[in-house]
Structure 1
Amino acid sequence: MCGIAGIYSSDRRLACEGSVRAMVAALHHRGPDDSSILIAPGVALGHARLAIRDLSIDGRQPFTDPSGRIIVSYNGEIYNDREIRTELARDFGFTFRTSCDTEIIPLGYLAWGDRIFDRLEGMFAVALWDRDERRLILARDGIGIKPLYYAEDRGVVRFASEIKGIFADPAQPRQASAAGLHAFFAMGYVGPQDTTFEGVHQIAPGTVVTYCEGKRTERRFWRPTRTAEITSIDDATVELEQLWSKVVSDQLVSDVPVGVLLSGGIDSTLVALGADRSDGRLPMFTASFANQDFDETPLARMVADTIGAKLRSVQVEMRTDLDDLLATVVHHYDGQSCDEASLALLLLSQEVRKNVTVALTGDGRR
């Protein structure tokens, strides 16, 4: 999980360095390993890095192609980067200087333009600056796993992985949205494109938004489709098993320790089984509750024992610092989601971070 942020100005003004650094600093918890900014006429890009693949300085962002034309700040992971690398080297003669999946984004853009995003399999939020065309591209993965917020204000576009990153620029207007608050209180979240703040929106899932010389265009590059009808449950089971193994295996590619959040439910159990088949005995973590009606530790332990994996149980109980913990939850959610499990997830995540850098979950993310 990294953090990206930046400012685009249609009149080519230089962004305030202090504002850009403040935006990146607001995302430090997302990327504690490194941070950097790049400022050029009309655009500023910043990045807070959580190093997962190619831990060297070569993977530092904002990342630039060898010609210096394309600059990328990116959060996420691309699972088919090896296949794309092979295609770019074979068909376009590109050479690579890192093992980071980041590198395929600027080179892929040089090869295919913004159609590169149609080819990516994974989760991502990308800010890409084409220096020659003076074009800013903001793109988000098809499901919208990785967040990307933006605000347009009098020819200036501010964007960040979290709203607090946008608000770190003191020039950004701040006003609550009546419609956004209504949606929040009615549903517990605002939706995939809006927020609880006036003028602050999300890049829609599976969408590329482009700004060029003050003009804005938008293209949807992904929609869910059904490609086949199930005629045999046995055939479907076999196909799912093969596909599931590949999907989980793809998400285990990492140069840092990986674990699994295991609740004992169907989703996380399938992830745990897939990870076991793909990568041996990964450590597993579960939240334990004193109230047995909510506690799934026995189920999680049964799964871990079956796999032969070590299970670490994190006790979630009444604490004297609940006020501070709830304030931390609110801070991280930016007022965009009401999740009754958020406090337990915070405590679990804090313990997980002491042991591993990456964790697979049953929520379709890592």
Structure 2
Amino acid sequence: MCGITGWASFRHNARDRRPVIEAMTATLARRGPDAGGVWLGAGAALGHRRLSVLDPVGGAQPMTDRHADRAVVLSYSGEVYNHHQLRAELRSLGHEFDTRSDTETVLRGYRQWGEAVVDRLEGMYAFAIWDERHERLLLVRDRLGVKPLHWARIEGGLAFASEPKALFAHPELDPRVDAAGLREAYSLLFGTGATLWAGVQEVQPGGLVTFDRSGLREHRYWQLTAHPHRDDPATTVERVRHLVDQAARTRLEADVPLCSLLSGGLDSTVITALAADELRRREGSARRLRSFAVDYSDQAEKFTGDVLRTGHDTPFAIEAGAFIGTEHATVVLDPRALLDPEHRRAVVAARDSPIGVGDMDTSLYLLFGEIRAHATVALSGEAADEVFGGYPWFHRPEALAARTFPWLLVTGDEAAMPLHPDLAATLRIGEFRADSYRDALAAVPHLDDESPVEHRQRELQHLSLTRWLRQLLHRKDRLSMAQGLEVRVPYCDHRLVEYAFNTPWSLKSDDGREKSLLRAAGQGLAPGSVLRRPKNHYPATHHPDYDHGLRQLARQALDLPQVRDIADEGALRATLDSPEERLPWGQRLRLERVVDLALWLDQYRPTISL
């Protein structure tokens, strides 16, 4: 896992601008703490920061494959899990390899198949290829958008980077925000394409961007489609078990220590069990997978549920670890550490954005930091709720009937930071949400004979997979890579996602609960208590000192005029003056976001034009 950046331009000779590409690359050092490199040609410059996972000696980048006197150069981030099969096929076609890395497989695959190589890749990746033969830049992102990739126009060309901060190290690009960017950020719709930053775009998941002398073109090589489900219930469960099993096992290749995130929920327990079994098969019965969970020092005695959490994770995680046979550890955080301004500043810098989820972001960042002392790669259960229908909005009548994005019923106006009335009038977020919802529904593929129930559930799953999941993957990538940790997400295997998307809702909920298919497929992989356990979200602290400290930070943030230009001071003061010792989740998140806004404004000093 790595960080990539660079540009292509037909106005300037890139060889004359080494300090620029070196500065852009340096901003991504946390993504790739092990090594870095740059490549410069007449029409392009590419930079790379490396987190060594496969072939630490041979996988240096940018990687060049010379054809006569014209280079094909690759800067690549990610993991292609079928690279051994592709390598064998390419060898049969006459290609020779100098390394064991999947990077070289991608490069030689491009030499063989051109852009069509993307149809053969299985994994999570974002990469850039500069082809001197055609003076063409190719940008590629994996199907689900697990790995990030951004681009922006420059004079006579195009710049790209894993994170926007690298773009802003280019002399032609500045951190600017306009009304459209604030609308994207504060509407909480989690689209891709446009970003918070003016002029900065995301490569779409499953997308290609090509740039050459004829201009820029965007293309989707993959997206969800609808087709009939032919398997009976028993075969469906068996197929899901096979796909999850295959996804978990193929994500274990690494030349560095590997572990699993084990919360004690169904999703992470199934993945951990399959991974642990595969490691024992490969390395012997004594091999034990390390697993990690997070907790807070106050939780054992003071846990109380809220709208997102029904129980304390730690006992279930310990039981699951013992059942599977992992070497399990619980990382216990002091809630007061989540208030540390330096920790919060690091999180905002990792996100490049003021929009996050407060203490849950900071605690995840600290958890990843603790794990990084023991492992470089971690497996996660992220995305199972989107794939198998685990969220409340798949089941509650009010969400099924709502004519808006379903998560807004939980994370909408109460949890959103209230905006200054003048800014709110300019952004007209309500209208933007309505327009975006119509566009999002229009993009959902359907079958002609769907029942009303199946039709609505397909809409909810498509919205969850194409929008809600993207902000979770963004969070996971940015906070893990800021600690030099690679997190792999087996439930994002595109074959599993395609199959589950086309499985009827009656099979996804046949036991009257969420994630029926995964629960059935997971029989024997988890203790009964975990299999029966209801959905529980990522844990948050309930310590009164945290709420008290957060109010203090929010008051300091509101003392800044530039914060008051964006935030509704009156509404936030009312929250701050609430007599409740423990703030409801939504009100607390309001304060979290005003604190992060102040940190973001201080770090980036963006030009804001409305």
What is the TM-score when the length of structure 1 is the normalising length?
0.94
Match of 2:295 in 1: 288
Match of 1:167 in 2: 168
1:342-353 aligned at under 5 Å gives the runs 342-353=361-372
Secondary structure at the counterpart of residue 59 of structure 1: coil
What fraction of aligned residue pairs are identical, expressed as a percent?
A: 36
For residue 88 of structure 1, what is the amino acid of its counterpart? L
CA contact (8 A) 1:24 1:46 kept: yes
For residue 55 of structure 1, what is the amino acid of its counterpart? P
Match of 2:349 in 1: 331
Following TM superposition, the consecutive aligned residue runs of length 4 or more in structure 1 with deviations greater than 6 angstroms are: none
Match of 1:2 in 2: 2
1:123-162 aligned at under 5 Å gives the runs 123-162=124-163
Secondary structure at the counterpart of residue 158 of structure 1: strand
1:201-240 aligned at under 5 Å gives the runs 201-213=201-213, 215-226=215-226, 229=229, 231-240=231-240
Q: Distance in 2 between matches of 1:75 and 1:125?
A: 5
TM-aligned CA deviation for residue 317 of structure 1: 2.5
**47-56 or 283-292: which moved more?**
283-292
1:1-366 aligned at under 5 Å gives the runs 1-14=1-14, 16-56=17-57, 58-67=58-67, 69-90=71-92, 92-187=93-188, 190-213=190-213, 215-226=215-226, 229=229, 231-280=231-280, 281-289=288-296, 290-291=298-299, 292-293=303-304, 295-319=312-336, 322-335=340-353, 337-340=355-358, 341-363=360-382, 366=488
Q: Distance in 1 between matches of 2:320 and 2:244?
A: 17
**Deviations 1:91-114 (Å, cap 9, x if unpaired)?**
x21011111000112211111110
CA contact (8 A) 1:245 1:278 kept: no
**Deviations 1:36-89 (Å, cap 9, x if unpaired)?**
000111100000000000010x21000112536311000000011111111111
Q: Distance in 2 between matches of 1:207 and 1:183?
A: 20
For residue 372 of structure 2, what is the amino acid of its counterpart? R
TM-aligned CA deviation for residue 132 of structure 1: 1.1
CA spacing shift, 1:228–1:262, aligned 2, 3 Å: farther
**Deviations 1:318-356 (Å, cap 9, x if unpaired)?**
235621111111000000752342111101100000000
> Structure 1, unaligned stretches of length 5 or more?
none
TM-aligned CA deviation for residue 2 of structure 1: 0.4
**Deviations 1:6-61 (Å, cap 9, x if unpaired)?**
011123522521111111110000001000000111100000000000010x2100
**168-177 or 306-315: which moved more?**
168-177
CA contact (8 A) 2:9 2:155 kept: no
CA contact (8 A) 1:142 1:205 kept: yes
**76-85 or 314-323: which moved more?**
314-323
Greater fraction of residues in strand: 1
Between the two structures, name the one with larger relative contact order (CA 8 Å, sep ≥ 6).
2
Q: How many residues align?
A: 363
For residue 82 of structure 1, what is the amino acid of its counterpart? H
CA spacing shift, 1:357–1:141, aligned 2, 3 Å: same
CA contact (8 A) 1:10 1:214 kept: no
CA contact (8 A) 1:144 1:192 kept: no
CA contact (8 A) 1:195 1:336 kept: no
What is the TM-score when the length of structure 2 is the normalising length?
0.58
CA-atom RMSD in angstroms: 1.7
